[in-house]
Amino acid sequence: MGDKMFMGEYHHTIDEKGRLTIPSKIRYELGEKFVVTRGLDNCLFLYPLEEWKQIILKYKDLPNTKEARNFMRFFLSGASECSFDKQGRMNISTPLIAYASLDKDCVIIGVNDHLEIWSKVRWENFMETNEDSFSDMADHLFSITM
């Protein structure tokens, strides 16, 4: 896989034409072309093109089950290759805006090999809901890997 690691939390607004400004540091990491698609938990995932190609290779190895086919339909039907305009904005399609309930205030977070775009309201709900269990999650996950 690639050697990029995304992290941090950035707050930006999406305009009525579906354009979202991406911070310059992230733009540099993403590269000139990248892929946006439906993510899990009703957010959007952004992948550098090289990372996306690696994911597609993995998916080609999935078994031909109904579950795998349905996941591929969900994941790939919303995917599109993007680039930035001169102002450092990306354009998000109407179906993806609807899927992630993006409305003005957005949160962009770095999650290791990809970025996630959340509506501010959904992100705050996610954080509030999971805050108390964060320590338990960490204990459980790290006890498995040690």
Structure confidence at residue 2 (pLDDT): 54
* Pairing status of strand 80-82 against strand 89-91: unpaired
Q: In 11-133, which ranges are continuous DSSP H helix?
A: 24-30, 49-60, 66-77, 94-99, 120-131
* Tokens coding 96: 């993806």
pLDDT per position as a tens digit, 99-128: 999 999 999 999 999 999 999 999 999 999
State the Cα–Cα distance between residues 96 and 75, nearest whole angstrom.
Answer: 11
Which residue segments constitute the domains of the chain, with CATH numbers given? 9-120 (3.40.1550.20)
With bands split at pLDDT 50, 70 and 90, how would you rate the model's confidence at 145? low
pLDDT per position as a tens digit, 93-106: 999 999 999 999 99
